[in-house]
Amino acid sequence: MAKPAVFFRADGHAQIGLGHLVRSAALAEMLTPDFDCYLVYRDCPESLLADWTVFRATAQVAATDSPVNDAQFLVDYATGHSEAQRSIVVLDGYHFETAYQEQITAAGHHLVCIDDIHHTEFVAHLVINHAPAARIEDYHTAPGTHFAFGLRFALLRAPFREAARDRLVRGSSTRHGVFVCLGGADPDNATLDVLRQLASASISAPVDVVIGSAYQHEAPLAEFLEHTPLQVRLHRQLSALQMARLMQASAYGITSPSTVCLEYLSAGGRLYLRQIADNQTEIYQALLKQGLAQDVTDLQRTDAEARAKNTSESQGLLDGQQDVRFRKLFRGLGLSYRQATKADSLTYLTWANDPLVRAQSFNSEVIDSVAHEAWFIRRLQDPHTHLLLFNEGERAVGQVRLQIAKQEAVIGYSVAESARGAGYGLAMLHFAQNHLQRQRSEVNRIVGYVKRSNTPSLITFRRLGYREADTDDYSDAVKFTLYDL
């Protein structure tokens, strides 16, 4: 049986950089176990195309195509390369305005947009922004749009996810040296500015400088390297694995506040940022505010505690599980939800009395229909209770209940017997989080209680990045908490 198809549309060149292409390829790599991925581009360095194996095929849009024709090319390409009537299209770029998006959704495809500047109205089914402080209120979207925000959804390639998992298990090893990478293009040659700053600071440690395939300042860089006292090792067009190993060996890194800085947080030591583009402001400000990085002008500070902060605080956020989260969310793009009504009472009772649900409940007795009806009506009338019923098309597949008290919401869920095994639990829990962010902005943490014997739910909460702790609130239970929604 053929896998579902995902079609990426992204560009990259010396002027705009390679970030859109690199993070699209990172997402494609994460999805490939469950999806066939394709790339449609207008501009892309041949060296990148030659190295990528994550895309089953690629196609080039004509440089003269208008946005309407560009979108139509993408729609036609998706139709011709997928057996399913409805595929997934991922857009990464600032020129994909609302009208372009509407052309994709009008053709019946699920739409995902990767964004970091909330520059237009989005009609996507899912918006991805891995900036740590991304907020739903910054976006103007269609009512049914879902969101994957923050470091839990960092668009990281496999070696960096592996490095993050390794750090959580083994901790940070002894490091030495400086890592410098200002992106694949670095149009204003910030690399040279940073090297001059390191030279003025009399840095004696080795400096590993990485430049990409779109870098166009090799002549002035070579002239500087010929006369500098710095111990510079220059690297060109490294693989993700080579990059990760350089980062893991460095005591600190200097990067642009783009995807490369999130890669460094996963694999490297202390992080310093040099902003080189306006669209990097959100990540730059968030990482500095949260103490996960410092500006490169602070490089000579001696506050060791502040400079080491990022190596500990980013661990719980960059856990290397981004690939699992994305595959589950993409599997759940066909889900919709609504508030339950009185007419759903019998459906809820049937699900609640499912033998497996009762076995994993803290009160395992079968629920009486009269008692259930009274409870259900009270919950519907309670403004602090949200009963969300999830559907796939016309089929009800599960429910999520949110009980809110001040700034905390207690969450519980169940998946209908007929829908189990599809991995909907993770998507349902995450979309319920999005619901809270939209409807109850005062809530800043979600708590879930799971029986130790309930292995599927334990795995689901762990995969979503909830922090796990023992609890006396319920017998033989684990308490999961998600902070800073």
Domain boundary among 153, 177, 208: 153
Tell me the C-alpha distance between 470 and 476, whole Å: 9
**CATH number of the domain where residue 288 is located:** 3.40.50.2000
Whether 329 is covered by a domain: the verdict is: no
User: What range does the domain containing 456 cover?
Assistant: 334-483
**Structure confidence by residue, pLDDT tens digits, 462-484:** 999 999 999 999 999 999 999 98
- 199: number of CA atoms within 13 Å, CB side? 15
Which DSSP letter does residue 187 get? T
Mean pLDDT of 390-416: 96
Question: Which residue intervals of 150-239 are DSSP H helices?
Answer: 158-170, 190-200, 218-227
Does 116 share its domain with 228? no
Does 275 share its domain with 228? yes
**Structure confidence by residue, pLDDT tens digits, 292-329:** 999 999 986 544 444 444 444 455 679 999 999 999 99
Q: Distance between the two ends of the chain, CA-based, in angstroms?
A: 38
Helix (H, G, I), strand (E, B) or coil at 317: coil
Indicate if the alpha-carbon torsion angle 327, 332, 333, 339 is positive or negative: negative
Whether 328 is covered by a domain: the verdict is: no
**Structure confidence by residue, pLDDT tens digits, 196-218:** 999 998 899 999 999 988 899 99
Whether 327 is covered by a domain: the verdict is: no
Does 73 share its domain with 177? no
Does 202 share its domain with 235? yes
**CATH number of the domain where residue 365 is located:** 3.40.630.30
Does 277 share its domain with 199? yes
Q: Label residue 72 exposed, middle or buried (CB < 10 Å: 0-12, 13-18, 19+).
A: middle
Which residues on neighbouring strands pair with residue 40, listed in sequence order?
9, 59
Q: Which two tokens stand for residue 123?
A: 């009609």
- Kindly indicate the confidence band of residue 172, based on its pLDDT and cuts at 50, 70 and 90: low
Whether 70 is covered by a domain: the verdict is: yes
- The amino acid at residue 118 is H
Indicate if the alpha-carbon torsion angle 204, 262, 243, 217 is positive or negative: negative
**CATH number of the domain where residue 61 is located:** 3.40.50.11190
User: Which candidate, 37, 42, 39, 55, places its Cα nearest to that of 13?
Assistant: 42
- Kindly indicate the confidence band of residue 81, based on its pLDDT and cuts at 50, 70 and 90: very high
